[in-house]
Amino acid sequence: MTVGTIRPGGRTARVRAAVLRAAGDALVEHGFDHLDLADVARRAEVGKTTVYRRWGTVAGLVADLLTDMAEQSLPRADTGSLIEDLRANARLVQRTLVDPRQGALFRAVIVAATCDPRAAEALHRFYAIRIAEWAPCVQQAVRRGELPSSTDPSEVIRAVSAPLYYRLLVSGDPIDEAVADRAAEAAAAAARAGVYTSTNSPN
């Protein structure tokens, strides 16, 4: 065997999978702070040296967890109506954030992103992917003539999620279906009013 060969197969991949799963569990239970890499190693039935060598810090581990999460994506809706599509998106986000496990996970990775550049990079890529996945439903609405032609699709999708994350992280207000629906309606109303057109350069 030649020198310098990388060995991603078999054991290495198995260890990574076990550690990431354990990291998710530990994050949900203890949160981003109070997260002990030795505890993660124990849960994953893996040497703690391995965890420290491969991931180094809690933030590094979370960054890898996010990269892994970005790979599994959910299909977007396509109902033929902008408001219905946006509502579907808003409710998907709402259910995710309200879910005890998923919600805690998202909080944890967002926290990690504010502490570590790699985690931040992974988080931003994650949302860039998610937003790009849903942008087509705005583009279709433009083609159908529901929205101004120069509407920025990403901006509309971001506008749907923003109020939900604001509640999760900032105001702490409850995130129910009514809130999700209002977020979708608000984004649609603003888009229709031309707020998200690229020609709209406010003084």
CB of 48 or CB of 192, closer to DNA: 48
Dihedral angle, C-alpha 40, 42, 45, 48, nearest 10 °: 80
When CB distances are held under 5 to 8 angstroms depending on the partner's kind, the choice from a copy of itself, DNA, none that residue 10 binds is: DNA
Strand, helix or coil at 96? helix
When CB distances are held under 5 to 8 angstroms depending on the partner's kind, the choice from DNA, a copy of itself, none that residue 36 binds is: DNA
Mark the segment that binds DNA (CB under 7 A) among 47-55, 72-80, 117-125, 127-135: 47-55
Q: Residue 17 interacts with DNA (CB under 7 A)? A: no
Binding to a copy of itself, residues 49-78 (CB under 8 A): 58-59
- Phi and psi of 193, rounded to 5°? -75, -5
From the list 4, 8, 145, 172, which residue makes contact with a copy of itself (rule: CB under 8 A)? 172
From the list 34, 101, 143, 144, which residue makes contact with a copy of itself (rule: CB under 8 A)? 34
Residues 6+ apart with CB under 8 A from 32: 58, 62, 107, 108, 111, 112, 115
Q: Residue 169 interacts with a copy of itself (CB under 8 A)? A: yes
Q: Residue 101 interacts with a copy of itself (CB under 8 A)? A: no
Mark the segment that binds DNA (CB under 7 A) among 3-11, 94-102, 117-125, 166-174: 3-11
From the list 22, 26, 37, 138, which residue makes contact with DNA (rule: CB under 7 A)? 37
| Exposure letters 60-95 (e unless 16+ CB within 10 A, then b) | bbbbbbbbbbbeeeeebbeeebbbebbbbbbbbbbe
- Phi and psi of 78, rounded to 5°? -155, 80
CA distance 153 to 131: 9
From the list 127, 133, 136, 146, which residue makes contact with a copy of itself (rule: CB under 8 A)? 127
CB of 19 or CB of 160, closer to DNA: 19
Q: Could you tell me which of 83, 94, 79 has the C-alpha nearest to residue 191?
A: 83
